[in-house]
Amino acid sequence: MKKKRLAILCPYPFGQAPSQRFRFEQYHYALEADGWDIKTYSFLNQSGWNVFYHEGLSLQKLYHLVLGFFNRWFLMTFIWRFQKVLIHREASPIGPPIFEWIIAKGYKINVIYDFDDAIWLPNFSKQHQKIHRLKAYWKIKYNLRWASQVVAGNDYLASYALKYNQHVRVIPTSIDTNYHLKRNVKEGHKPLVLGWTGSHSTMEYLRLLLPGLEKLSLQYDFEFVVISNQEPSFTIPNLRFIPWTAATEIKDLSTIDVGLMPLTDDEWARGKCGFKALQYLALGIPAIASNVGVNKNIVSHGETGFLVNHPEDWYASLRYFFEHPDASYAMGMKGRATVEAFYSVTSLSPTYLSLFNS
């Protein structure tokens, strides 16, 4: 039987960016088992990814931008060989949607457009504030219009997509529960470990926790673990920084007793898909999360963790686990069951595969 050919266009190299890992990369095996021959084409190669979000290095960044565009133009010479194309977020980080137009309108290829953030809103890191106007945030509406199908990470994103395309399906960010298995158990009476994982782009949200953590540090013994690609640029009480690596990700997350996901209540945050909370719950770790966007669907208040409505409420939610040291295990197990039922790759695979066979 002749294999079906699928091209995936994405911003970053395979296995590096959370949005890619939890949106489409985890479904590779299921797609291949369903007869799809998959080729992934990232705009940045591994070297480009390594330098792009660091301060300075302007010439290296320019080189990788030019290389990325060269590779995209070369891809256009043979993209017509694929039956379907999945575009995650955008085909290129700056400029108008030229490549999307060529694929969808020029070659008339069936495009599945996937997005998991409110990327129509200006949002940029300080490293790229000088060039963010080149990002052309307006192009998402054209990417939505030209797609045969749109996959949104939550209802808020779907409501925006429906303005431009009626073929919209919500598929939440998913977790491979066979991979996300807690690797160790808390030993003896070691201090409670609070933790957060994420990229440099979301680290500023940790500032919301600082008043509560500083107050806790005067009363209780604890450790605050940050797992990220960059170390925080501000002081956090009792901080232990762990550089993120794919090889140790689950082992490092397993050291956490309570996982945290602070957010501000704004349009950008409402578009987020809650992958931090999902990761914690999948590992049997209760989550304390801001009551913003999809978090209220993922975390059951008082059952699998707590939802925080105001910055001053973080202290009370955190303090609960110091006063009830046995609560984290029971909440974590309920959270694990929630992820298995509604947010796992296993439970969502049939829905995901149907996108490519329609």
151 vs 158: CA distance, rounded Å: 8
- Residues 268, 168, single domain; the answer is no
- Residues 311, 198, single domain; the answer is yes
- Residues 164, 201, single domain; the answer is no
- Residues 170, 196, single domain; the answer is no
- The three-class DSSP label of residue 162 is coil
Q: 179 lies in a domain?
A: no
284 vs 329: CA distance, rounded Å: 7
217 vs 157: CA distance, rounded Å: 38
| pLDDT tens over the chain, length 358 residues | 567 999 999 999 998 888 898 899 999 999 999 999 999 999 999 998 888 777 777 889 899 999 999 999 999 999 999 999 999 999 999 999 999 999 999 999 999 999 999 999 986 555 555 565 678 899 999 999 999 999 999 999 999 999 999 999 999 999 999 888 876 655 555 789 999 998 888 899 999 999 999 999 999 999 999 999 889 989 999 999 999 988 899 999 999 999 999 999 999 889 998 889 999 999 999 999 999 999 999 999 999 999 999 988 999 999 999 999 888 889 999 999 999 999 999 999 999 999 998 7
- Residues 253, 135, single domain; the answer is no
Q: 115 lies in a domain?
A: yes
- Residues 81, 202, single domain; the answer is no
pTM across the whole model: 0.87
Q: 187 lies in a domain?
A: no
Residue with tokens 């809650």: 274
- Residues 269, 313, single domain; the answer is yes
Domain containing 318 equals 192-342
Q: 181 lies in a domain?
A: no
- Residues 11, 113, single domain; the answer is yes
Sign of the C-alpha dihedral computed for residues 31, 33, 35 and 39 taken in this order: positive
Q: Sheet of 149-152: strands edge to edge?
A: 36-42, 4-10, 84-88, 110-115, 149-152, 168-170
Question: Looking at the 3D structure of the chain, how many domains does it have?
Answer: 2
- Residues 236, 151, single domain; the answer is no
Q: Of 207, 210, 328, 198, nearest to 273 (Cα)?
A: 198
Check if the beta carbon of residue 275 is closer than 8 Å to that of residue 173.
yes
- Residues 336, 303, single domain; the answer is yes
- Residues 244, 153, single domain; the answer is no
Q: How do residues 169-191 score in pLDDT, each as one tens digit?
A: 999 999 999 888 876 655 555 78
For residue 136, what is the enclosing H or E element? none
65-70 contacts, C-beta under 8 A, 24 or more apart: 65/93, 65/94, 68/43, 68/44, 68/92, 68/93
CATH number at residue 203: 3.40.50.2000
- Residues 14, 75, single domain; the answer is yes
